Chain A
Amino acid sequence: MELQLQHLSKHYGTKYAVHDVSTTLSPGVYGLLGANGAGKTTLMRMLCGVLAPTFGRICLDGQSIEKLGEDYYAHLGYMPQDFGFYPDFTAREFMRYMAAVKGLDKKEVKDRTEELLKLVNLHHVADKKIKFFSGGMKQRLGIAQAELNSPDILILDEPTAGLDPKERVRFRNLISDFAKEKIVILSTHIVSDVSYIADTILMMKDGTFLLQEPMAAVTDCIRGKVWELLVSDREAAEYSSRFSVVNLHHENGKVRLRMIHETIPAADAITVQPSLEDLFLYYFGEEAGTERSESGYVSKI
């Protein structure tokens, strides 16, 4: 199975949210990274057929998704960012409703609903109205509904946003379980989430793909550009103003700095293994400042 994006663009007047994106996706987990406004959500909406591209087209195994219609949607599971629920429905009713919209057989609906509610640990509150659910419970229900039809293409837009660390780990594991033999596109600005489960990283900036690399090789381009250095408090402030400091850690009265720089920033700086977070910050710089705080880093960029 292949999902082909052919010169995909979405323009709003003279501005564009997605511009001339082309790629072919085969089964695997794709981590879609980008700062806010990079075009991730717009791209995902187009992939889900709920937003028409201005130019270009999306094909599943060579056939336009527009022409495939129901046949395409039958392959699709989508969990949008901040999507609403029906507050007066119970979790079980919502799942059964979504199962009906997804065209599941009547016999299948009950078993699949119970199975997924159990999997996302909501079975004990299945008859509780959604309006009484916490954010985390809603997120879990969101992924459960996306998985109802056992989709071949699973699109998850910021699925871990607003979850506490424990829930995020649980969520990552869930996604890994669902991901087998599927095309999973996972958008997030919490870089650590994708670093655990993604096979391929798609990095978006200004509506285009900046980078499309397998996870194992994605940080190669900044190898030798990430440095660590142990300095005094006073020196730390000085380095922070001069370099891109991605982490700052106090150790026995000293400060360990992690920096990204093309050349060695100080004689005693040592190169370290680059991480996905480093790569993200390398590309997005100040744009990513707000996101980084969620990942636990101290931003000085």
Chain B
Amino acid sequence: MLVKYEFLKILRKKSTRIVMAVSLLVTAFLFGLPILQFQTYHQEGVIKGFEGINYEKEQTAKYAVSLTDTYITEAIREVQQLFDNPDYVGYDGHERFLIENAYWDNIAPKEALLGMIAKNFANPNESVGYNSLPELDISEGVNFYRARQEKIEKLLNASSNGMSEKQKTYWQNMNSKVDEPFQYGYYKGWEVIISSFELLTFALFAVCIVIAPVFSGEYQAGTDAVILSAKYGKTKLTTAKIIASYLFGVLAFTLHVIIALGLPLAAFGFEGWDLPLQIANTTIPYPLTFLQAALIQLSVVYLVLSALIGLTLLLSAKMKSPYLVLTVLAPVLFIPLFLSPNGTTGVYNLTLFLLPYRATVPELGNYISYQFGGIVFDAFTMRAILYAVLTMIMLPIARIGFKKHQVSA
């Protein structure tokens, strides 16, 4: 009964409806942008929107193959043979590339695949494309997966990473669980989703705005005296307020998630959900499919939401007005947006990766790990633990804050 009324209190406010409407529109716009801006090319020029998406889907579907060493060797050989014919090759003063039909017929449909293969053989942090493939020695065939392993070793041992042996072992163990050979295919929808999680920060903030008055709104409106002097004002009502806030927060955020995930998946398709993450970046250590990664990251984002609701309620219980609550929350959420990591180790970077905004970015290929004594956690696990613990700490403080609130003029 109390939960129902507390939920109604949140829902009935005009400000709730306005904030939610604006936030849903912003989310729809942000996640719809990759659809509106999508464009691909064929020999006749640019194809945009759904036509372009369908074209790319058709082209990539032709290369939904298992990436065995034999297949990869053959794919590289084809590119090398094309480069052997001077009529097909252009040069812009910096690099060689294939031109006209040689490019449009043989490279364009599988450029992403060829780029991924080329990058696998390149040094870490080196940006290369299909035109680096002619430099590879394939006389004895290629060992794509050994090259991947070597690249990962280089990454782990790079002095700039400053990883401990424990951390290296942790990542090596994780890597060893990645299935080989990779299955390639179309995964554009999932790529958009995984690279856009941070845009949900606005939805997180919108939820915080709506629940900021849960306690402080009572102080501001002057209803605190009446409810706190009622039998359950300091006990069951506090619990009901917390439950109603979470109920609203989870439902409102889920509505945003449905839009955020629904739009790209509706436009780009569900295809690719069962493909390994490594076809987007071969050095990703997580043995996950796109769907698994998206779900795990979504779970982390829900835990961030949970902690932010906890923090909002805590501030709301302690502060006299919802506006004061938001003056604290806004910097917590948005200042990290302007801070860039300068590596993957060190207190600054490791802290930055844990802050709410950064925690919405999966950082799949960045080998971010946290070591406590002999125990190592990856970014997903560390964030999940941190935000779960923060929630558990902040809720009792919020409860006590409201219970101990002093009604004064």
Contacts and interface: CB of A to CB of B under 8 A. Distances in A.
Interface of A: 41, 45, 48-52, 69-70, 73-74, 76, 78-80, 82-86, 88-89, 93, 96-98, 100-103, 106, 145, 149
B406 interface: yes
A78 B223 contact: no
B407 interface: yes
A149 B230 CA distance: 9
B12 A88 contact: yes
B222 A51 contact: no
B375 interface: no
B225 A86 contact: no
Contacts of A41: 409
Contacts of A86: 9, 12, 221, 223
Given A50-B407, A51-B406, A100 B2 contact: yes
Nearest to A85: B223
B1 interface: yes
Given A84-B221, A84-B222, A50 B2 contact: no
Given A88-B12, A101-B237, A106-B1, A48 B223 contact: no
B356 to A, nearest CB: 31
B5 interface: yes
A261 to B, nearest CB: 36
Interface in B366-409: 405-409
Most buried by B among A97, A101, A145: A101
A89 B12 CA distance: 8
A101 B2 contact: yes
A238 B233 CA distance: 57
A82 B222 CA distance: 8
A79 B228 CA distance: 12
A83 B226 contact: yes
B70 interface: no
B229 interface: yes
Contacts of A45: 225, 407-408
A-B pairs, 10 with minimum CB distance: A84-B221, A84-B222, A88-B12, A50-B407, A48-B229, A80-B225, A103-B231, A101-B230, A97-B5, A78-B229
Contacts of A50: 224-225, 228-229, 405-407
Contact of B229 (A73, A82, A85, A93): A73
Nearest to B2: A100
Given A41-B409, A45-B407, A100-B1, A84 B227 contact: no
9 contacts: A52-B406, A73-B234, A78-B229, A80-B407, A89-B9, A100-B1, A101-B232, A106-B1, A149-B231
B173 interface: no
Given A51-B408, A83-B223, A93 B230 contact: no
A145 B226 contact: yes
B235 interface: yes
Contacts of B226: 78-80, 83, 98, 145
A83 B231 contact: no
A73 B233 contact: yes
B13 interface: yes
A92 to B, nearest CB: 12
Nearest to B1: A100
A41 B233 CA distance: 20
B312 to A, nearest CB: 20
A234 to B, nearest CB: 45
A170 B232 CA distance: 31
A83 B225 CA distance: 8
B244 to A, nearest CB: 12
Interface in B232-254: 232-237
B225 A48 contact: yes
Contacts of B12: 86, 88-89
Contacts of A76: 229-230
A52 B228 CA distance: 12
Interface in B30-48: none
A245 B301 CA distance: 72
B13 A73 contact: no
B249 to A, nearest CB: 20
A4 B377 CA distance: 58
Nearest to A100: B1
B228 A49 contact: yes
Contact of B231 (A73, A84, A93, A96): A73
Interface hub of A79, A80, A106, A145 (most chain B Cβ within 10 A): A80
B1 A49 contact: no
Given A84-B222, A102-B230, A93 B5 contact: yes
Nearest to B221: A84
Contacts of B228: 48-50
A168 to B, nearest CB: 22
- Which of B14, B229, B406, B408 has the largest count of A CB atoms less than 10 A from its CB? B229
B172 to A, nearest CB: 57
Contacts of A83: 222-223, 225-226
Contacts of A84: 221-223
A83 B407 CA distance: 11
Nearest to B235: A70
A74 B231 contact: yes
Most chain A Cβ neighbours within 10 Å, of B223, B226, B236, B408:
B226
A73 B406 contact: no
Contacts of A149: 230-231
B239 to A, nearest CB: 12
Given A96-B5, A98-B226, A102-B230, 10 more contacts: A78-B225, A78-B229, A80-B407, A83-B226, A86-B9, A86-B223, A88-B12, A100-B2, A102-B232, A149-B230
Contacts of A82: 222
Nearest to B406: A51
B223 A103 contact: no
Contacts of B237: 101
A74 B231 CA distance: 5
A45 B406 CA distance: 9
Contacts of A85: 221, 223
A93 B12 CA distance: 12
Nearest to A145: B226
